[in-house]
Structure 1
Amino acid sequence: MVATLGFVTIGLFLALTVTRRVSVLLGLVLVPIGTALIGGFGGELGDMIAKGVVKVAPVAIMITFAVLYFSLMIDTGLFDPAIRRVLRWAKGDPMRITVGTAVLTLIVALDGDGASTFLITVSALLPIYLRLGMRPLVLSGVVCLGAGVMNLVPWGGPTARAMAALKLDSSDLFVPVLPAMIAGIAWVLLAAFLIGRRERARLQAEGRPEIDLEAGGPDAPAPEAAGGRDPRIWFNLLLTVVLIVALVMELMPLEVLFAIAFALALLVNRPTWAAQQALLEKHGPNVVLVTTMIFAAGVFTGILSGTGMIKEMAEALVSVVPDGGGGLLPVLTAVTGMPLSLVFTPDAYYYGVMPVLAETSAGLGGDPAEIGRAAILGQMTTGFPLSPLTASTFILIGMTKVELGSHQRFIFAWAFGTTLVMTAVALLTGAISF
């Protein structure tokens, strides 16, 4: 009963939001409340929602200060040199811009943190897309592909969870799938090329003239300080480098690091009260939009976890595996991992579903490590930037101002293709087997 209720909750939420019957915000809040009431959990709703909201609060705080920090850095022109380098290579060609987006994302995503990847790449590239008339949907999609494949790194969330849950080290779990990851990167670059070529053809069909972005113009990005003439640009660069290093090394909680960095940046770049208020008024709406979605996601996951729906769904999925299907379990895990990112949070999957699958595989004569390798080929790696269950997804769609349903429809097949390519290479190299 509870498992069925869980699948109904997920299915109803996806159906309503993808078809635009309701907004994502309403779906995240009202759908789980409705199904929980139907399941007889009304008396526990308050406690479950509170726990879910408290769990995502640090993420919401981190994103609040992160959005404000990178918005301030954009205003000061910190990312303009990077933009100019991309422009010089791309020469106003939408196809090259799209490939450059993938390359930049692959580099930035080395830190293993989706939130910072989206904040940096979208901040740097969105002005270019708008100037060229390219769809922000292309930007969110290509960034999604690059960040997804790079989320396999051992210090990224999914692989770290898989190693902890199965008590394996990176040599057992990550190293065997490294060739598959390289193939996934190649696929992302190919996908970016094809998407970019299609976008270029669309713009040409609309009769848009070629634009030399380096020449400037009324719609070109207008930094407050050009190049290095304003000494504050060097302070901003140093502060950003220190911040990224501190984030990678996890010297403090992420929300603390971003709060401190924003306070220092605000003091140096906007020293007066009036200038500080103007900044908050300018970028405050973006913060409210993203953080509201995150707290709504906390309601959603809090109810699904508190009612036991997630646990029951995991057990139900395992129960349908036939006795003779143990050999197919790694492949099934790999292929279904990406779509199941829309259903399970990373904690729920890697600490709830995956150990059960690994135990089932071992009982059928398989290697539990193969289940872990298969899982990271899609579950909350290629799938995380499409999932409504991860806060960073809302950073990506919030900053690019695209709808979740549109984003999912546009890039789902390409992201699933990344998983299929990596699964095929993992089979060929023996990382997983039939």
Structure 2
Amino acid sequence: MLALMGFLMVIVFMYLIMSKRLSAMTALMLVPLAFGIILGFGPDLGAMSLDGIKKVAPTGIMICFAILYFGVMIDAGLFDPLINKILKAAKGDPLKVIVGTAVLAGIVSLDGDGSTTYMITCSAMLAIHRRLGIHPMVLPAMAIMQNGVMNILPWGGPTGRVMSALNLEAADVFVPLIPAMIAGTIWVLFVAYRIGLKERARLGTLQMQDVIAETATAVVDIEAQKLKRPHLFWVNLSITVILMAALVREVLPLNVLFMIGTSLVLIINYPKIKDQQARIATHAANALPVIAMVFAAGIFMGIMSGTKMVDAMAGSLVSVIPSSMGPHLALITALASLPFTFFLTNDAFYFGVVPVLVKTAATYGITPAEIARASLIGQGAHLLSPLVASTYLLVGLNGVEFGDFQKYTLLWAIGTSLVMLAFSLAIGIIPF
């Protein structure tokens, strides 16, 4: 019953946001509360919700100060030289801009953190996409698809979980998957090229539109120019590089790093308290909806976990695999990782489902490392799950609806996983 209600809850949630009957934020809170009451957990829902909120609180804090940090950096003009160079290289060509966006997202994703990838990629590229009139879904699609591939890095999260759950090393799990990740990246660039061709056909090279856009935003640019701090470019760049290095090395928790960084760049770039307050007020409008979404997701996950719906869903999914398919369990795991990691959290899948699959696979001579690699294939589409907090940051930064974004990107993202799976089967790192 719990498993059935869990799947039904996710389906109802997806239907409500995709049909735009409810916003993602309200659906994340109201749907699990309704199902929790139906299941008889009413008195405990408050504690479950609070537990979920506590778990996502560090992410919410990080997103808040990261948006403020990069917002201040945009105001100060840190990304202006990069934007100008990309515009010059692209020469008004949407195809080059879109492919460049995918490449940039891949480079930034090396730090293994989705939120950072989205903030840096969007900070650098959003103005270019808007100036050229590129479809608003393209930038977040490129960012999340490329980050889905790079999410397999050992420090990205899922790989660390599965290595921990199965007591494996990176050499057993990650290193063999590198060729598949390269294949996945090539697929993302191919998608970028295809979309770029369509956008080029629709928009042309847009030299004339650039002039129109510059004229239309002249008044805004005058106000924005007052906030630029070109004389502090190297100072701001140094702080940002140090911040990213500290992030990769995990010198301090990510949220603490962004809190410290935001304080420093505000003081350095806008010494007057009045100016600091103005910058915070301006960017708070971008931060608040995203933070609210993250805490709403905490309620959703807290109730799913507290009611044991997640555990029941995991158990039921494993039980439907017939014994006759045992010799092909690695392939089944790879294919099943697509819906598993979409409807369940990474913790639920890698700590709950995968160990059960490993025990079953052992009777057919399939090693834990092979199951571990197969279980990571679904990461190509995982980030589009409503259970991934950083995705709400991405849609918030780009001003698009979550449901619309899923519909635009999901098939391409599933393609990423299938390409990685096909290549993995071809070279033998996942047995057929």
The aligned residue for residue 12 of structure 1 is 12
Quick one: distance in 2 between partners of 1:359 and 1:225? 63
Structure 2 residue aligned with 1:423, among 396, 412, 421? Answer: 421
TM-score (norm 2): 0.95
Secondary structure of the residue aligned to 2:344 is coil
The aligned residue for residue 146 of structure 1 is 146
The aligned residue for residue 362 of structure 2 is 362
The aligned residue for residue 318 of structure 1 is 318
Amino acid in the other structure paired with 2:394 = L
Quick one: distance in 1 between partners of 2:357 and 2:187? 28
Contact 1:92 1:211 in 2 (8 A): no
The aligned residue for residue 392 of structure 1 is 390
Normalized per residue, which structure has more helix?
2
Quick one: distance in 2 between partners of 1:191 and 1:334? 22
Contact 1:95 1:196 in 2 (8 A): yes
Quick one: distance in 2 between partners of 1:359 and 1:26? 40
Deviations 1:363-396 (A, max 9, x none): 3432221111011122xx3224312111110110
1:327 aligns with 2:330: no
Contact 1:327 1:433 in 2 (8 A): no
Once the 2 structures are TM-superposed, how far is the Cα of residue 210 of structure 1 from its aligned partner? 4.6
Quick one: distance in 1 between partners of 2:174 and 2:194? 29
Once the 2 structures are TM-superposed, how far is the Cα of residue 86 of structure 1 from its aligned partner? 1.3
The aligned residue for residue 408 of structure 1 is 406
Once the 2 structures are TM-superposed, how far is the Cα of residue 211 of structure 1 from its aligned partner? 4.4
Amino acid in the other structure paired with 1:386 = L
The aligned residue for residue 69 of structure 2 is 69
Amino acid in the other structure paired with 1:408 = Q
Once the 2 structures are TM-superposed, how far is the Cα of residue 291 of structure 1 from its aligned partner? 0.2
Contact 2:162 2:350 in 1 (8 A): yes
Deviations 1:24-50 (A, max 9, x none): 111100111111111111121111001
The aligned residue for residue 21 of structure 1 is 21
The aligned residue for residue 86 of structure 1 is 86
Quick one: distance in 2 between partners of 1:320 and 1:307? 22
Deviations 1:208-244 (A, max 9, x none): 665458x9554489564899x8332111100000000
Once the 2 structures are TM-superposed, how far is the Cα of residue 274 of structure 1 from its aligned partner? 1.1
Quick one: distance in 2 between partners of 1:270 and 1:363? 65
**Matching of residues 194-273 of structure 1 within 5 Å:** 194-204=194-204, 210-211=208-209, 217-219=215-217, 222=221, 224=225, 230-273=230-273
Contact 2:149 2:380 in 1 (8 A): yes
Contact 1:137 1:407 in 2 (8 A): yes
In the alignment, structure 2 segments of 5+ residues that lack a partner are none
* C-alpha RMSD over aligned residues: 2.0
Amino acid in the other structure paired with 1:76 = A
Quick one: distance in 1 between partners of 2:93 and 2:159? 36
The aligned residue for residue 98 of structure 2 is 98
Quick one: distance in 1 between partners of 2:373 and 2:136? 33
The aligned residue for residue 187 of structure 1 is 187
Amino acid in the other structure paired with 2:70 = F
The aligned residue for residue 58 of structure 2 is 58
The aligned residue for residue 432 of structure 1 is 430
Once the 2 structures are TM-superposed, how far is the Cα of residue 80 of structure 1 from its aligned partner? 1.2
Deviations 1:136-167 (A, max 9, x none): 21111111111111111121111111111111
Quick one: distance in 1 between partners of 2:352 and 2:327? 21
Amino acid in the other structure paired with 1:401 = G
Deviations 1:191-215 (A, max 9, x none): 10001111222225xx9665458x9
Secondary structure of the residue aligned to 1:73 is helix
1:136 aligns with 2:150: no
Contact 2:180 2:420 in 1 (8 A): yes
1:34 aligns with 2:58: no
Deviations 1:305-349 (A, max 9, x none): 000001111110110111111122221222232333331111111
Secondary structure of the residue aligned to 1:351 is helix
Quick one: distance in 2 between partners of 1:66 and 1:97? 25
Q: 1:210 to 1:372 in 2, by over 3 A?
A: farther
Once the 2 structures are TM-superposed, how far is the Cα of residue 83 of structure 1 from its aligned partner? 1.1
Secondary structure of the residue aligned to 1:382 is helix
In the alignment, structure 1 segments of 5+ residues that lack a partner are none
Contact 2:93 2:206 in 1 (8 A): no
Q: 1:104 to 1:217 in 2, by over 3 A?
A: farther
Contact 1:112 1:155 in 2 (8 A): yes
Amino acid in the other structure paired with 1:320 = V
Aligned length: 429
Once the 2 structures are TM-superposed, how far is the Cα of residue 103 of structure 1 from its aligned partner? 0.5
The aligned residue for residue 305 of structure 2 is 305
1:283 aligns with 2:283: yes
Quick one: distance in 1 between partners of 2:245 and 2:338? 30
Q: Tell me whether 86-95 or 239-248 shows the greater mean CA deviation.
A: 86-95
Q: Percent identity?
A: 48
Quick one: distance in 1 between partners of 2:148 and 2:86? 22
Secondary structure of the residue aligned to 2:230 is coil
Q: 1:364 to 1:312 in 2, by over 3 A?
A: farther
TM-score (norm 1): 0.95
Secondary structure of the residue aligned to 1:386 is coil
Quick one: distance in 1 between partners of 2:109 and 2:215? 31
Quick one: distance in 2 between partners of 1:86 and 1:326? 51
Secondary structure of the residue aligned to 2:411 is helix
Contact 2:77 2:230 in 1 (8 A): no
1:107 aligns with 2:107: yes
Quick one: distance in 2 between partners of 1:194 and 1:187? 10
